[in-house]
Amino acid sequence: MNKINFIHTHVHSYFSLLDGLSSPADLAKTAAEMGFSGLALTDHGSCAGLLAFQNACKEVNIKPILGCEFYTTADHRNQTKDSNTYHLILLAKNEVGIKNMMHLATHSERYGKYKKPRIDFEMLANSHEGLICSTACSAGELAIKLLNGDEVGADHFVEQYKSLFKDDFYIEIMMHKYHEGSKDQEEREKKLAHLLYDLGKKHSVKVIATNDAHYAKRTDAKYQDVLLAMQTHDHIKNPKRFTFDGDEFYLKPYEEMQTLYAHVPDVLSNTMEIFEKIEAGPLLVKHPDLLPNFNLPAGYKDEASYLKDLVKDGMKSKGLMNIPEYRTRIKFEMDNIIKCGYIKYFLVLWDIISFARRQKIRIGVGRGCFVPGNKVDCKDGVRYIENVKIGDSVLAYDGKHHEVVNTMSYDIDEEIIEIEMEDGRKISCTLDHKIHIKRNKELIWVKASELTEEDDIYDIRVGD
């Protein structure tokens, strides 16, 4: 049997929402059946599937390579239309690498989100240790520079990333066959592959071959095409809609990859260098419970039984015990709390609140997000939020005035965002404050950090 001297390092699962089709388990099983010794998972801007993928690879005895296809931009803080977005593959070599990758993924969602969760080179420079980097598909920045004839920019890109990642930086090439309507794309990928290969030789950077896998087997192509139609809100029979227009975006067997790259076998064998760099053993491990100890009262065998009794007591005190709809709801909630491992969290929180009530310490329903200087519409006129008093009537999200029954203040120790509206009004709030906006003719709530210049803030007025 032919020794397999290649692994797939550019693979998407259904955690690339409405883009990838197969589950992490299906991908791992298919790779194992083909005789591959390892497989990478590189979903778009997300690490959500990595734990399931790691477990699936363990089941079929192949090495999991945990990765992500990140979205990059020149400055992740720039959230305007002139902010271009590219693709970049990152793979974790070890525990430090997986922590850095998780950090980058989290930061991209919290602070770099503009249509896509984005990172930039500055972020990579601060969190690159333990990571392998490859240049991704034709939507990668290096590929676009080459296709645009920007040789100087391409040289600078390679030198910049080579300087940061050293021998863990790879140039990635891929070639697919397309249906008749997309032969231009097929030729473009061939041309790009030659340019990338030559660039790698010029800068002494190793080149790897990948196949942009979005499903496990070739026969899955038609189903993935349906996902793309759903993603783009288009009709499956629209000839002008976005489509891959090909059925080669699967886990290709080694023999097919050998045939495709017979003239440059090093681009296949170079992937085994990446395989060897990945530390053996699970990179994602369950850490010990960091919650404080909760001392159970005498007579209880476990925390779940105590929490259930507390819930029963609460239902009885509120007269809800014999109402079927509440009993059904409580059963559903309790099952999920137990399944997700949140029992101790709820008990600790209950203990803190119970203590506060016994000691007559004030507790609130939650924290607010607005800061001094924000204006509030009251029934008798506009006031700054810090001047609103108990008994005032304030215009709320539902377009009605409600009486203020309590006010609270607290120190703010987090980043504040300022939002300026087209009429000159400004509001300040925390990054995670939810704003009611109209987007695509629908009213939705989004975090302040996710607002774009195209959004319309729903401006409630009396009578609306």
pLDDT by 10s per residue, the chain, length 464: 468 999 999 999 999 999 999 999 999 999 999 999 999 999 999 999 999 999 999 999 999 999 999 999 999 999 888 889 999 999 999 999 999 999 999 999 999 999 999 999 999 999 999 999 999 999 999 999 999 999 999 999 999 999 999 999 999 999 999 998 888 999 999 999 999 999 999 999 999 999 999 999 999 999 999 999 999 999 998 988 989 999 999 999 999 999 999 999 999 999 999 999 999 889 999 887 888 889 999 999 999 999 999 999 999 998 888 899 989 999 999 999 999 889 999 999 999 999 998 998 877 655 556 677 778 888 888 888 888 989 999 887 677 888 998 887 766 667 788 888 887 777 788 888 888 888 887 878 888 888 888 888 876 554 44
Residue listed under structure tokens 């997000």 = 369
Element (H, E) at 57: helix 50-60
Helices (H), 204-247: 221-231
Question: CA-CA distance, 167 to 55, in Å (whole number)?
Answer: 29
Contacts of 323 (CB under 8 A, 6+ apart): none
Nearest 5 degrees, angle CA 78-CA 14-CA 66?
A: 75
The two tokens of residue 42 are 């590189």
Q: How many CB atoms lie within 10 A of CB 324?
A: 7
Residue 441 to residues 100, 423, 455, Cα–Cα distance (Å): 38, 21, 10
Q: Which residues pair with residue 209 across a beta bridge? A: 173
pTM for the predicted model, two decimal places: 0.70
Contacts of 412 (CB under 8 A, 6+ apart): 371, 430
Strands 434-439 vs 442-447: parallel, antiparallel or unpaired:
antiparallel
Give backbone dihedrals phi and psi of 226, rounded to 5 degrees, phi first: -65, -40
**Domain annotation for the chain: domains and CATH numbers:** 24-277 (3.20.20.140), 303-358 (no CATH), 375-457 (2.170.16.10)
Question: CA-CA distance, 45 to 109, in Å (whole number)?
Answer: 9
Contacts of 78 (CB under 8 A, 6+ apart): 114
Give backbone dihedrals phi and psi of 366, rounded to 5 degrees, phi first: 155, 175
Question: CA-CA distance, 168 to 278, in Å (whole number)?
Answer: 11
> Which DSSP symbol is given to 215?
B
Q: What is the rounded (10 degree) CA torsion for 249, 253, 257, 262?
A: -160
Residue listed under structure tokens 């990668």 = 140
